[in-house]
Chains A and B, each alone.
Chain A
Amino acid sequence: MSTIKIAEPPNGIEGPGFFATSLDAAVGMARKNSLWPLPFATSCCGIEFMATMASTYDLGRFGAERLSFSPRQADLLMVMGTISKKMGPVLRQVYEQMAEPKWVLSMGACASSGGIFDTYSVLQGIDRIIPVDVYIPGCPPRPEQVLDGILKIQELVQNESLRRRDSTEYKAMLQEYGME
Chain B
Amino acid sequence: MNEELKTILLDTLKSTFGIDIVSVESPYDFITITVKKDKVVEIVSHLYDHEKLQFQFLTDLTASHYPDDKEQLEVVYHLHSLVNNIRVRIKARLSIGTPEIATLTGVFAGANWMERETFDNLGVIFKGHPNLKRILNVDDMIIFPLRKEFPLEDQVRLDKNDTMFGR
The count of residues in chain B whose C-beta lies closer than 8 Å to any C-beta of chain A is 14
Q: Are A122 and B154 in contact (CB under 8 A)?
A: yes
Q: Does B159 interact with chain A (Cβ within 8 Å)?
A: yes
Q: How far is the CA of A122 from the CA of B145 in the complex (A)?
A: 12
CA distance A122 to B74 in the complex (A): 26
Q: How far does the Cβ of A114 sit from chain B's closest Cβ, in whole Å?
A: 7
**Known: A85-B138, A86-B138. Contact between A119 and B152, CB under 8 A?**
yes
Name the residue on B nearest A113 (C-beta).
B159
Number of interface residues of A (CB under 8 A): 12
Q: A120 touching B154 by the CB < 8 A rule? A: yes
Q: CB of B12 within 8 A of chain A?
A: no
CB contacts (< 8 Å) of A124 on chain B: these are 154, 156-157
A119:B154 contact, CB within 8 angstroms: yes
Q: Which of B113-166 contact A (CB under 8 A)?
A: 136-138, 143, 145, 150-154, 156-157, 159-160
Find out whether the CB atom of B154 lies under 8 angstroms from the CB atom of A114: yes
- 15 A-B contact pairs sorted by A residue (CB < 8 Å): A85-B137, A86-B138, A88-B138, A113-B157, A114-B154, A118-B153, A119-B153, A120-B137, A120-B150, A120-B151, A120-B153, A120-B154, A122-B154, A124-B157, A128-B156
Given contacts A119-B153, A124-B156, 19 further A-B contacts (CB under 8 A): A85-B137, A85-B138, A86-B136, A86-B138, A113-B157, A114-B154, A114-B157, A118-B153, A118-B154, A118-B157, A118-B160, A119-B152, A119-B154, A120-B143, A120-B150, A120-B151, A120-B153, A124-B154, A128-B156
